[in-house]
Amino acid sequence: MPKLRVHNITITLDGFAAGPHQRLEYPLGEGFAGMHEWMISAMREQAEGGTGIDVDRCRRAEENIGATIMGRNMFGPQRGPWPDETWQGWWGDNPPYHNDVFVHTHHLRPSLVMEGGTTFHFTDESVETVLERAFKAAGGKDVRIGGGAATVQQYLRAGLVDEMHLAIVPALLGRGERLLDNLEDGIDGYRVAELVASPAATHALLVRR
């Protein structure tokens, strides 16, 4: 059966997945940009044929993915109604997804076809309906939630996530957006199936019981 997976969600030791005041100059929020250094280094090492714990986790994130789900805050810095439709994401003309990407938003716009096989679909439907659409688009492969924290929380609260990989970096932020707050019963059905560490991050894999 296809799965709904979360990968490479980086959190600090005090549980923050983004800093405060996200905007164009600070896409991940103030103070959070350096938290992804483990992944940037791992992707560079992977491109050079390297191996290791961090490289392996980055590689796993790309395996058997047929569609992606994300929140509007991950797609861009704008809030509220779209001022226009010129914003096409952070990633240039050829985004790294190469599949259908479903963007949760209260402000709809036409689907956006990009180079490399990525098409962004903007939806205000329920998480259950969006996941159904994503599984259909994935054609038998798994679906990945790209982020951000609020979107991951919605799917956890609904009990829809099958696997979630967290990368816990050795840093404290003190403010921003926590990943695992206010989940109520949404976290009860999971167990830690794997816990390994590199010098840069501790990797935890949560799976359904």
**Residue 157, amino acid:** R
- Percentage of the chain beyond pLDDT 90 is 89
Question: In the chain, where are the structural domains located?
Answer: 4-20+27-77+96-208
Residue 199 burial (CB < 10 Å; 0-12/13-18/19+)? exposed
pLDDT, one tens digit per residue, over 152-167 is: 999 999 999 999 999 9
- At 182 the pLDDT is 83
pLDDT, one tens digit per residue, over 92-114 is: 999 999 999 999 999 999 999 99
Fold of 4-20+27-77+96-208: Dihydrofolate Reductase, subunit A (3.40.430)
12 SS3 class: strand
CB 200 within 8 A of CB 54: yes
pLDDT, one tens digit per residue, over 37-71 is: 999 999 999 999 999 999 999 999 999 999 999 99
- At 14 the pLDDT is 96
